[in-house]
Amino acid sequence: MSLNPADVTRAQEVLAALREEIGKAVVGQRDAVDQVLVALLAAGHVLIEGVPGLGKTLLARALGKSLSLQVARVQFTPDLMPSDITGHAILDTNTRGEGNALGTLRVLRGPVFTNLLVADEINRAPAKTQAALLEVMQEAQVTLEGQTLPLSKPFMVLATQNPLETEGTYPLPEAQLDRFLLKIEIGYPPHDEETAIVVRSTEGQAGDQLPLDGVTQRVEERHVITLQTMAAAVRVDDKVIDYAVRITRATRGAPGLSNGAGPRGAIALVRAARAAALMAGRDFATPDDVKRLATAALRHRVLLAPDAQLEGRRVDDLLSTLLESVDAPRM
């Protein structure tokens, strides 16, 4: 499938309008907003990390409101059960089953049966509950009582988590982390943006509700699927793919890292680069697209070595050094 230049330009305009709508609720955080849109275009899932109060949930809800999609939110807690997410089966005694037996099993679908699942503070639930999302995120389906139930498309998990140093948090299983296309880190805003946040959240408002009134729906469900199809059709030269693979392979055995990224890392880089190219109004991906998204695509797929942890080194700093050591192809 080749992309029509007019369609690419139109897609860029739609995505710019979507970014503008999200900006009516979220002050600043331009990189975080763009990366969430990249994940949406690439039909991937995203994990947003930051200390409480930095707008992680606000960003997720603003995206949901700007899309004409079904949105469900789950607040993860230590007592949350897997069935609270995926659903469960109950015995319906008002019906007759096989052999005229009293009652049949009826499946009650959980909140995961939606288009955009906001998993709020996902690392406050224990590993068993977090693992309930593994099949959902990888195969877009749920198995209940032997029945395989597909999810509707588009489907995206937008999870938020607090740093592991925060009380009451559990580390996410590595298998689940690997299923997130990108991990976005949100830090403290600069002074001018923080001032704007305070003004927007207090002006004419008695409580502390999230300021979403100004956000309107700009993209319909069928348009999201069209944009995802277009992103998948963006051309990626073999040299760009090789660059993504070399970056991923360089994380294995890199100084300061005990575990490197697997093949999913390179796959995520190529998918994200395609989406970034479409957002920029291009029908081809460049090495810069790969490099710009490499940290977000790989930071959750690598592990710091014990000595690097003792020295207080950061994964992002190590990845930045690694990226400079891998030669980008000339196009």
CB–CB of 250/294 below 8 Å?
no
Domain closes at, from 178, 201, 233: 233
The amino acid at 329:
P
Q: Are residues 222 and 315 in the same domain?
A: no
CB–CB of 143/149 below 8 Å?
yes
Say which CATH number the domain at 277 has: 1.10.8.80
Q: Are residues 274 and 226 in the same domain?
A: no
Q: Cβ neighbours of residue 323 under 8 Å, at least 6 residues apart?
A: 247, 291, 294, 295
Q: Are residues 52 and 30 in the same domain?
A: yes
How many domains, in total, are found in the chain?
2
178 belongs to a structural domain: yes
Q: Are residues 38 and 122 in the same domain?
A: yes
Tokens of 257: 């890292």
Q: Are residues 66 and 159 in the same domain?
A: yes
Q: Are residues 22 and 122 in the same domain?
A: yes
Domain of residue 228 covers: 1-77+114-127+148-191+218-233
Q: Are residues 291 and 161 in the same domain?
A: no
261 belongs to a structural domain: yes
CB–CB of 197/189 below 8 Å?
yes
Tokens of 179: 């299923």
Q: Are residues 25 and 169 in the same domain?
A: yes
120 belongs to a structural domain: yes
Q: Are residues 171 and 63 in the same domain?
A: yes
* pLDDT at 282 (0 to 100): 92
Q: DSSP per residue over 73-86, as a string? A: EEE--TT--THHHH
Strands 141-144 and 87-96: unpaired
Q: Residue 275: exposed, middle, or buried by beta-carbon count in 10 A (0-12, 13-18, 19+)?
A: buried
Q: Are residues 294 and 227 in the same domain?
A: no
* pLDDT at 90 (0 to 100): 72
141 belongs to a structural domain: no
Domain closes at, from 174, 207, 233: 233
Rounded CA-CA distance 319/62 in Å is 30
Rounded CA-CA distance 122/309 in Å is 24
Residue 89: phi, psi to the nearest 5?
-110, 145
Q: What is the largest CA-CA distance in the chain?
A: 72
Query: DSSP state, 100?
Result: G
Mean pLDDT of each 10-residue bin along the chain, 331 residues long: 83 88 80 91 91 76 82 86 79 58 67 87 82 81 79 88 70 83 86 79 62 75 89 94 95 87 93 95 94 94 86 88 90 69
Q: Cβ neighbours of residue 328 under 8 Å, at least 6 residues apart?
A: 243, 287, 288, 291
Instruction: Starting at the earlier edge strand, list the strands of the sheet with 71-75.
Output: 71-75, 116-120, 156-161, 46-49, 182-185
Could you give the count of Cα atoms lying within 13 Å of 283 in the half-sphere of its Cβ?
A: 13
Alpha helices in 24-67 (DSSP H): 30-41, 56-66
Would the pTM of this model clear 0.75, i.e. be above it?
yes
Number of Cβ atoms within 10 Å of the Cβ of 95: 12
39 belongs to a structural domain: yes
Say which CATH number the domain at 167 has: 3.40.50.300
Rounded CA-CA distance 253/260 in Å is 7
Torsion, Cα of 310, 311, 314, 318 (10° steps): -120
294 belongs to a structural domain: yes
Q: Are residues 226 and 268 in the same domain?
A: no
199 belongs to a structural domain: no
Closest residue by Cα to residue 217 from 84, 324, 62, 52:
62
Q: Are residues 25 and 167 in the same domain?
A: yes
135 belongs to a structural domain: no
